[in-house]
Chain A
């Protein structure tokens, strides 16, 4: 991982996006954050468009409820592609319904966190993905 990890935030709600970006900046001021508002844009960002260019990301923060393609399907697509299968993905949700947590786990999520994201939680995530270690709490 690079010193300044690149973070892809996929969130359709502007307020949730602002609050999440605020926490990211507080926890990791040097992190590069890219915001996409739907799953399609996120996948293009990760895998490239017609010109086959693709931006890299070191961490994906993915909202569960997205328009066009919901977050679980985006996660499945990320895991199916060889280039992105290894990416750590944090699912963000307003609820911790068991079925949502279970769906995220089966789809291959690395973490499942409830909104709003807190500084302590995000710092722990950054710390854990910086080195190979066993999963922390809230990981499905």
Chain B
């Protein structure tokens, strides 16, 4: 089987489109990846820078604290010792925290960059230093975890983003408690200045403040985003350029040769004349191999077509010759069939004519037989009737000799009558149709023997009929055959002192064998030969049987597909045995 078009579960895509899509997709992915990496790096740089600024701010303020506490305050205390009243307090030079706060305020006024520095505390001495919720939470965390020192991250406050840095601030030492434990212990001036509520009741080791620094990120982020966009655009332009170049290259090196292959393949598919044409070599090695393979296929196709055409021509010639021969054979066969049909028709007609002739002949013969038989028997019956009339009415005039002559006359008439009756019966049954049905032979035999027993002058005969004898055959014809055999047996036992007739059935592997047995005189070997001869005559009145009746019985049995045999022990026993077949005999 040849498949000329690949079956696809989905429609095939354009290679050019596929390549284009692949390149564009790759470029977009690359662009997004680069932009994401750059943006991430920028963010990290931003945070590092912000943290650096925060640390600078912190260190600067710590330096300020240090200067105040190590240099300025001691010097000023030394210069003013003895001149200050006991309750004197001035945070301007006595509180570094106050100084830093004021410095930061000045810094905010000068710079305005949004930087935030605060030494926040819970219940701060100055409300300006009160910790916000984030700072409060960190202070509480510091007091829970002595190891915690700092925390940083990004917060959004009033819509602006900030880098925040929180660091552990002031931890109460012994010296600090004077001003931060009980108000009574603090300098009067401090209490007078700040009040007795704020930043008191501190404990030893308690972290009471956190240094909170915030660096604004809006500007830096804006710069970073702007840079990201610029960078992205630049990369995009580069990628588009790369895509265009790649596309142009692929079109020239890949698509163009493929298009050439496709066009040539279509041309070959649509026009057999183009089979065998070649495609020019491609510039790339891989496509050149494809082109070479295609050209080899085209040449092979051409050769195959030419070879096929040659074989087709040759086969066509052979087929034409064979067709002519076949047509002749068909014509001869039809002629032969016609002759056979005609012969059959002739034969059928002849058979029908012969059958009609045979039927007519048979009917004529049967009619002739009937008429002759009837007329002959009529004449014979008259002869017998007058004979009896002579015997009865003229007995005294006849004498013994005349009576004997009449006896012989009656005997011969009886024989002739039996012969004619037998011939008539034979003629009648020869054309009879066999109507097969199941027949109870036991009942039939008893009926026939009963009728025979009622004939005038009949002696009592010992009769034995087996029960349950059945056969399949024509009821009327079987009755005729059985009646003939039983009549024959009755005549056979006419002279024996203790006559007996037996009807029995013997099963065998070939079907049932029916027997009519009598203990009569039997018959000799000589009579055996003519036992079933319809016109045979017996020499002795003691052997009045045989002949036409047995011929009729044999004929009927033969019509049923069976056969009949006889055996006899003279003076002892005579047995007639017959079988009945399933088919129709001759």
By a beta-carbon cutoff of 8 Å, the part of chain A in contact with chain B is 13, 15-16, 19, 22, 65, 93-99, 114-116, 120, 137
Q: How far is the CA of A94 from the CA of B380 in the complex (A)?
A: 9
> Please, which residues of chain A bring their CB within 8 A of the CB of B454?
137
| Contact A15 B386, CB 8 Å, known A95-B373, A115-B381, A120-B456 | yes
| Contact A137 B382, CB 8 Å, known A97-B428, A120-B456 | no
> Please, which residues of chain A bring their CB within 8 A of the CB of B388?
116
Q: How far is the CA of A36 from the CA of B417 in the complex (A)?
A: 28
| Contact A96 B421, CB 8 Å, known A19-B385, A19-B389, A116-B388 | yes
Closest to A96 in B: B421
Classify the interface of chain B: helix, strand, loop or mixed.
Answer: helix
Decide: B381 and A116 in contact? CB cutoff 8 A: yes
Q: How far is the CA of A13 from the CA of B378 in the complex (A)?
A: 10
Sample 10 A-B pairs with CB under 8 A, ordered by A number.
A13-B382, A15-B385, A16-B378, A94-B374, A94-B375, A95-B370, A95-B373, A95-B374, A114-B381, A115-B385
Q: How far is the CA of A96 from the CA of B480 in the complex (A)?
A: 12
Q: How far is the CA of A21 from the CA of B374 in the complex (A)?
A: 21
Decide: B377 and A94 in contact? CB cutoff 8 A: yes
Q: Which of B515-532 contact A (CB under 8 A)?
A: none
By a beta-carbon cutoff of 8 Å, the part of chain B in contact with chain A is 370, 373-375, 377-378, 381-382, 384-386, 388-389, 421, 424, 428, 451, 454, 456, 476
Decide: A65 and B374 in contact? CB cutoff 8 A: yes
Q: CB within 8 A of A97: which of B370, B378, B381, B451?
A: B370
Q: CB within 8 A of B382: which of A16, A65, A97?
A: A16
> Please, which residues of chain A bring their CB within 8 A of the CB of B382?
13, 15-16, 19, 116
Decide: B381 and A94 in contact? CB cutoff 8 A: yes
Decide: B424 and A95 in contact? CB cutoff 8 A: yes
**Interface centre among B388, B454, B476, by most A CB within 10 Å?**
B388
> Please, which residues of chain B bring their CB within 8 A of the CB of A13?
378, 382
Tell me, rounded to whole Å, the shortest Cβ–Cβ distance linking B552 to chain A.
Answer: 11
Tell me, rounded to whole Å, the shortest Cβ–Cβ distance linking A97 to chain B.
Answer: 6
Decide: B378 and A19 in contact? CB cutoff 8 A: no
Decide: B378 and A98 in contact? CB cutoff 8 A: no
**Interface centre among B375, B382, B428, by most A CB within 10 Å?**
B382
Decide: A116 and B421 in contact? CB cutoff 8 A: no
Closest to A99 in B: B428
Tell me, rounded to whole Å, the shortest Cβ–Cβ distance linking B406 to chain A.
Answer: 15
> Please, which residues of chain A bring their CB within 8 A of the CB of B424?
95, 97
Decide: A115 and B421 in contact? CB cutoff 8 A: no
Tell me, rounded to whole Å, the shortest Cβ–Cβ distance linking B433 to chain A.
Answer: 13
Q: How far is the CA of A114 from the CA of B476 in the complex (A)?
A: 19
Decide: B476 and A98 in contact? CB cutoff 8 A: yes
> Please, which residues of chain B bring their CB within 8 A of the CB of A114?
381
> Please, which residues of chain B bring their CB within 8 A of the CB of A22?
385, 389
Closest to A23 in B: B385
> Please, which residues of chain A bring their CB within 8 A of the CB of B456?
120
Closest to A117 in B: B385
Q: CB within 8 A of B386: which of A19, A98, A115, A120?
A: A19
Q: CB within 8 A of A116: which of B373, B385, B476?
A: B385
> Please, which residues of chain A bring their CB within 8 A of the CB of B375?
94
Q: How far is the CA of A137 from the CA of B456 in the complex (A)?
A: 12
> Please, which residues of chain B bring their CB within 8 A of the CB of A137?
451, 454
Decide: A115 and B389 in contact? CB cutoff 8 A: no
Q: How far is the CA of A116 from the CA of B454 in the complex (A)?
A: 20
Q: How far is the CA of A95 from the CA of B375 in the complex (A)?
A: 9
Tell me, rounded to whole Å, the shortest Cβ–Cβ distance linking B430 to chain A.
Answer: 13
Q: How far is the CA of A63 from the CA of B386 in the complex (A)?
A: 18
Decide: A98 and B374 in contact? CB cutoff 8 A: no
Q: How far is the CA of A16 from the CA of B476 in the complex (A)?
A: 30
Q: How far is the CA of A115 from the CA of B374 in the complex (A)?
A: 11
> Please, which residues of chain A bring their CB within 8 A of the CB of B377?
94-95
> Please, which residues of chain A bring their CB within 8 A of the CB of B476?
98
Q: How far is the CA of A99 from the CA of B374 in the complex (A)?
A: 13
> Please, which residues of chain B bring their CB within 8 A of the CB of A94?
374-375, 377-378, 381
**Interface centre among B370, B385, B389, B428, by most A CB within 10 Å?**
B385
Tell me, rounded to whole Å, the shortest Cβ–Cβ distance linking A23 to chain B.
Answer: 8
Closest to A64 in B: B374
Tell me, rounded to whole Å, the shortest Cβ–Cβ distance linking B300 to chain A.
Answer: 93
Closest to B427 in A: A97
Q: How far is the CA of A19 from the CA of B390 in the complex (A)?
A: 11
Closest to A116 in B: B385
